[in-house]
Each structure stands twice: as structure tokens, then as C-alpha cells.
Amino acid sequence: MKRQRGHKARLCLTPAQTRVAEEQGHAARALWNLVHDWWTMLPKERRNLAAADEAIRQGRKDLPWLGSLPAQAAQAVLKTYFQAWKNCWDGRAQAPNFKARFHSRTAIDIPQGRDLQIARLNRRWGRMWAPKIGHVLFRWTRNLPVGKHADKDNRVTGARLVKEADGWHVVFRVRTEMPEPDRHTGPTVGIDRGIAKPLALSDGTFREHGPWLTEGEAERLRRLEKSRERKRRARKPGEKRSRRLTHTYDRIAQLRATAKRRAVDWQHKTTTSIAETFSRIAVEDLAVIHMVKSARGTVETPGTGVRQKAGLNRAIAGEAWGRTVAMLEYKAAERGGLVVRVPAPHTSQRCSACGVITPGSRESQARFVCKNPACRFEAHADTNAGRNIDHAAGQAVSGRGDLGDTRSAKRQPPTGPPAA
């Protein structure tokens, strides 16, 4: 089967190359906004790719600063914008909107892989070609199908230059052909996602992590955020942002980027281990976007527990539950496994041993004791929820519809003894 994956590497740009890259990035963002205005002002019957392409060609002639963006990168902006509308029409995303300068990520597309001219220089560094930027160095951390190792089924199909808080990166689009995986023969597992226990498995084990920032980094972030608020209050309405405030924003973004890199690294290692061990992985079908809604309310009907709910929302967002499931899905599929989404209601209230929901069984955040006199089952509350999720995965329907896989048609027993 063919596999499409992205590989991210850090770029090493000279000051001159950095200036050119930033010019191209701002031109790409401005072109997106111009295309968006042109698209939304036209009548529906006149909106099509051919007319948009002609408008972009004319805009590059009339606006000299758009010439800093390579022609192929400009075409990629149009394709990305049209794909965003297709995702909206299919119900997978919201409608595309204006990209603000300080609230959008700077990116430049290189749609043709043959233009990259990738070469490995030594064990640590590789070299690639970026249009109008020249040859640039990037950190070589994974073998890429280039040179004699590339063919029509194994090759780099394109790339995107991305500016983040810690500098410029390149994301290669890599297409490889791999044999169809054999069916995974390992045990099944249910996973309960939480805050105190990030991942609680139905076999009684947990996957935990510490703080993403050290004590010194966390204290530095706290002081920078206090400094940011003082400088923001000192600004007059409409006054231009000072360089000191901009520098403070950049330092905050760098620390948060460090925390995110560590979180993604932990998620990759943990999900790889789970996908290699278990054949069927069951998770709750959670609508996370509704779980992190604010409790602020309105002036007429103010909310209650606003600060507590805000802290809970930050904790949920910090765990990135959706990203964990997305990693599990593609890693399990590559190993012949399956990820099943099951309905979330009552997974933490139901006893996984007798299947009865008895009021008061959830004695605390971490302890579950079944109040059914004929059962009296005891376990960690998250482990009990994981066992219920594993049991529910034996049904042929998930929270999003039919699973369409016979491997989940029967109820399966727990994979191990519960944790007392």
C-alpha cells in the first residue's frame, strides 16, 4: 500500500535567506487574503479555479511585491484555498477566513518534489533548493527517498517551509510504498483519557508524563506573562506595539513551543508502543471542542465557576486528546490493528465487572467501588472506565456510526486483571 507522511526538519538559513523567506511568507499570506476577498465578492456563478488563476496572474503583474513569491507557490496558495472550501462544503472544517499577520503561521509551499534537489552532505546535515532563496541546509534526522533510493513509488513529492517560534522548518511530503500489514494478533485494550492520568489502559497500567517545562522554565514563563500584561496595560488605544512587547511575545512563544515539542515527542513514543502491543484499541468518541467551551456567560446570566472551568479547559487542551487518537489511528493501521471509537456516556459510572450503574460507586476521582451487593468490584476509577470502553468496542456501532469491521463484532473479555 502507498503511504503519505510528512517529515519535519529544522532549517539553517543565513540572514539574507531569512529575509527573503519572510518576504515570501508575507506575500503568500497577503495573496491568500486577496484571493479570499476576490472570491467572496464575486457572484457564485463566476467562482471557479480558472477565473481565480487568471486573477492571480494579473495581480502578480499589477503588484510588484507579489513577484517575491514564486509562481508555483502562488498556485499552491490557490489550491490550498480551494481545498479549504471543499472541506467546508463537506462539513469537515469551517469556512476559510482572513489571515491576520500575528495570528497565522507563515508558510511557503514548494509543490514539486523534483525542484528540491535534496542531497545528503554528512551524518547531520542535508541540502535542498528553495526557489528564489537558493541552497539551504537542514538537519538530517531521517533517511529520505532521494537519489538512487527514489523511484515513482518512493520519493519526496513536495515540501513546505514553515516559520515557527523557534525558527524556520521544512516539512517534506514523503510517499513510500510498503507491503500490506498482516492482521495484528495481540490483545485488545480500552483507553480512558484524563487529566490526572493522561492514559489509563484497561489492563490496569497507565501512561503518564511529568510537566512539559522544568521549574525554571515555568517560572520564566510566569514572569514573562506578567511582564506582557504590564506592557499591554501601558499601551494607549491605537498605539503601535513596542519592540520590548514584541520581544516578550517572542520569548513566550519559544517557551510554549518547547513544551509542545516535548508533548508531541511523548505522544509519538507512547502511541507507537500501544499500537505495537494491541490489536484493537478502543477510545471514547469525545467532542473535545464542546468540552472546552468557556463558562463565562453573559452580563444578564453570568456563568459560575469561570476560573475553575478555565483551568480545566487549559488542562484538557494541554493533553491534546485528539492528536493522541489521530496518531493511534494511523499507527495501528500500519501494523494491522484497529482503533474503535465508542460512545462516551456512562463509561465512568458503569461497573465493568457486573455492568450495573449504581449511584455512589464513583467514590472519588481515583477510586471506584461497585455498590451492587452482589458484586462489590473495586478498581481505579480510570481503569474501570478503560475496561468499559474495551467492552463497548465489542459492539458493531461506535459513536460515529457503523464500524464496518468484523473484528469488533463480538464482545471481548478484559485483557488483564483490574488494578485494585
What are the pLDDT digits (tens) for 51-103?
888 888 888 888 888 888 999 999 999 999 999 999 999 888 889 999 988 78
pLDDT value of position 415 = 41
Pair (269, 125) in one structural domain: no
Within a domain: 368:
yes
Contacts of 21 (CB under 8 A, 6+ apart): 13, 108, 130, 133, 161, 163, 168
Of the residues 138, 161, 179, the one at which a domain ends: 179
Q: What is the pTM of this model?
A: 0.82
Residues 301 and 368 placed together within one structural domain of the fold: yes
Given a cut of 80, whether residue 2 has pLDDT beyond it is yes
Tell whether the model's pLDDT for residue 418 goes beyond 90.
no
Asked if 164 and 275 sit in the same domain, the reply is no
395 three-class SS? coil
Judge whether 281 lies within some domain. Answer: yes
Query: How high is the pLDDT of residue 299?
Result: 62
- Give the pLDDT band of residue 235 (cuts 50, 70, 90): confident
Task: Report how many domains make up the chain.
Answer: 2
Same domain flag for 54 and 76: yes
266 and 170 co-located in one domain = no
403 pLDDT tier (thresholds 50, 70, 90): very low
With contact defined as beta carbons under 8 Å apart, do 231 and 245 qualify?
A: yes
Residues 6+ apart with CB under 8 A from 101: 26, 29
Domain shared by 148 and 277, yes or no: no
Q: H-type helices in 294-343, by residue range? A: 306-319, 321-334
pLDDT for 140 beyond 90 = yes
Distance CA 332, CA 327 (A): 8
**Grid coordinates representing 7?**
517529515
- For residues 166 and 26, membership in a common domain is answered with yes
- Same domain as 198, residue 168: no
> Over the stretch 263-274, which tens digit does the pLDDT of each residue have?
999 999 999 999
Residue 95 and residue 192 share a domain:
no
What local confidence, expressed as pLDDT, does residue 402 receive?
A: 41
122 and 187 belong to one structural domain: no
Q: Which residues pair with 125 in a beta bridge?
A: 139
Residues 279 and 412 in one domain: yes
Total residue length of the chain? 420
Of 136, 163, 179, the last residue of a domain is 179
Q: Does residue 155 sit in the same domain as residue 264? A: no
pLDDT over 70, % of the chain: 93
Q: Which domain holds residue 131?
A: 1-179
